[in-house]
Amino acid sequence: MLEQPYDYTARELVEPDWRRLPGFADVTADEWRSAQWQRAHCVKNLRQLRGVYGDTLDESFYADVQADQSGRATMSLLLPPQMLNTMVPDAVPTAAAMLADPVRRYMLPAASDRLPGAAASHPYAARDSLHEHEMWAVEGLTHRYPTKVLAELLSTCPQYCGHCTRMDLVGNSTPAVAKLRFELKPVDRQAAMLAYLRATPGVRDVVVSGGDVANLPFASLEAFVGGLLEIESVRDIRLASKALMGLPQHWLQDDVVAGLGRLAATARARGVSLAVHTHVNAAQSVTPLVAEAARTVLAAGVRDVRNQGVLLRGVNATAPALLDLCFALLDGAGITPYYFYMCDMVPSAEHWRVSLAQAQTLQHDIMGYLPGFATPRIVCDVPYVGKRWVHQVAEYDRERGISYWTKNYRTGIEVGDEAALDRRYTYYDPIATLPPGGRAWWRDRGVDPVAADRAAGASRLASLVD
């Protein structure tokens, strides 16, 4: 019998032994389980990173991370011990193993990861590439789709991802990016959002996000979600927290579980669907503690825990990697795979992005293994449009890597725009992935990633162009 392209085997989740890392050698199980301990021991700088890994990593690795932080990084370092422990999970890490690790590749970026020179960013890359701020109905409330809004309650997370699409607003400023700041006080911002939603009954679905809601004092989150639950027209509420994976200890705290239970009971009584959405990109991140947190959240009464991952080259952009992740989520943790977003066109992200054609192939290759309700859709978040399944593209110039998309609703800034539904909207493949003719076309417009790469003596583009 011939082998299947993907070989499914049920796998047990593993919590890597944190005591293999010099800085965590004496940490007890009770300390590890404490959200407070995890937060107090996050790595925020090179000194703290050295404190965890010591001499197991050589100087070149630390210099590589430092060069990125002082150079192109759009996000500052913030890594809970839980996340660090999932990098190179089954060995004392060497620098080479760390550089090759999928979690490290997006959570602890190094300068050598990025494409050199002008190739690092697509010419149309932008801060706030999805134009969320333009669509703020009130500060932090993006009204893009007719029936749905995104409520950004805060601008911090317990962990910072290198590719963050909200790099414009979320986290601390880096040498490359001075972050925007909210102007309203949190309590006033929340009040303004609730007032808008009370006055806008066409909105039935609210994504409560940030940042990450795990960084809000639970009383504040409970007050806001409680306010949403009093609005008759709100029927779906989704709480966005990558911390369910990055800091599962947060969601296991007694006060958080009790508070979530109260909100879930109210939601149920009012016929509102309350769910938690998380963001996991690699199977090795799904550990027994993550599974315990997800099952605890479900037991507290939320309707579902769903995963919205990001498709990232070098992290998960192969069919086996995506399927391994989905099965770990579904079988191991009761988390429903939901979406994989193509990485947005933010600055210095070209090395993470894949082409639309590659995304379409991946969608094809993952079909048929998972139950239909848990087969994730790979989506392109097209600027000024919103999420489109990758096969919904209206026209695609593969040579130049330009895809054209249409839409069937007006965003919040187009209510008076008669042409909005007739227009075509563009998205761009990474130039380094284009055939020679396409790269030449961009080069004629002043963009030459291959020449930039040669000048830097690097060879990574060769693997992107294959």
Residues 6+ apart with CB under 8 A from 109: 65, 68, 73, 162
| Minimal distance, residue 169 CB to ligand SF4, in Å | 9
| Minimal distance, residue 243 CB to ligand SF4, in Å | 8
Residue (157 or 305) nearer to ligand SF4, CB: 157
Quick one: CA dihedral 448, 453, 454, 460, positive or negative?
Answer: negative
Residue (160 or 218) nearer to ligand SF4, CB: 160
Residue (166 or 238) nearer to ligand SF4, CB: 166
| Minimal distance, residue 241 CB to ligand SF4, in Å | 8
| Minimal distance, residue 347 CB to ligand SF4, in Å | 14
Residue (160 or 352) nearer to ligand SF4, CB: 160
Residue (209 or 336) nearer to ligand SF4, CB: 209
| Minimal distance, residue 274 CB to ligand SF4, in Å | 20
Quick one: CA dihedral 316, 317, 320, 323, positive or negative?
Answer: positive
| Minimal distance, residue 463 CB to ligand SF4, in Å | 25
Residue 218 has, within 13 A of its CA and on its CB side, a CA count of 14
Residue (161 or 329) nearer to ligand SF4, CB: 161
Residue (104 or 166) nearer to ligand SF4, CB: 166
Gyration radius from the chain CA atoms:
22
CA distance 388 to 380: 5
| Minimal distance, residue 164 CB to ligand SF4, in Å | 3
| Minimal distance, residue 200 CB to ligand SF4, in Å | 25
Residue (171 or 430) nearer to ligand SF4, CB: 171
How far is C-alpha 414 from the chain's CA centre?
27
Residue (80 or 386) nearer to ligand SF4, CB: 80
| Minimal distance, residue 209 CB to ligand SF4, in Å | 7
3-state secondary structure string across the chain: CCCCCCCCCCCCCCCCCHHHCHHHCCCCHHHHHCHHHHHHCCECCHHHHHHHHHHHCCHHHHHHHHHHHHCCCCCCCCECHHHHCCCCCCCCCCHHHHHHCHHHHHHCCCHHHCCCHHHHCCCCCCCCCCCCHHHEEECCEEEEECCEEEEECCCCCCCCCCCCCCCCCCCCCCCCCCCCCCCCCHHHHHHHHHHHHHCCCCCCEEEEECCCHHHCCHHHHHHHHHHHHCCCCCCEEEEECCHHHHCHHHHCCHHHHHHHHHHHHHHHHCCCEEEEEECCCCHHHCCHHHHHHHHHHHHCCCCEEEEEEEECCCCCCCHHHHHHHHHHHHHHHCCEEEEEEECCCCCCCCCCCCCHHHHHHHHHHHCCCCCHHHCCEEEEEECCCEEEEHHHCCEEECCCCEEEECCCCCCCCCCCCCCCCCCCEEEECCHHHCCHHHHHHHHHCCCCHHHHHHHCCCCHHHHHHC
| Minimal distance, residue 166 CB to ligand SF4, in Å | 5
Residues present in the chain in total: 466
Residue (256 or 402) nearer to ligand SF4, CB: 256
Q: Can you give the binding site for ligand SF4, defined by CB under 6 A?
A: 157, 160-161, 164, 166, 170, 211-212, 242, 279
Residue (310 or 366) nearer to ligand SF4, CB: 310
| Minimal distance, residue 448 CB to ligand SF4, in Å | 30
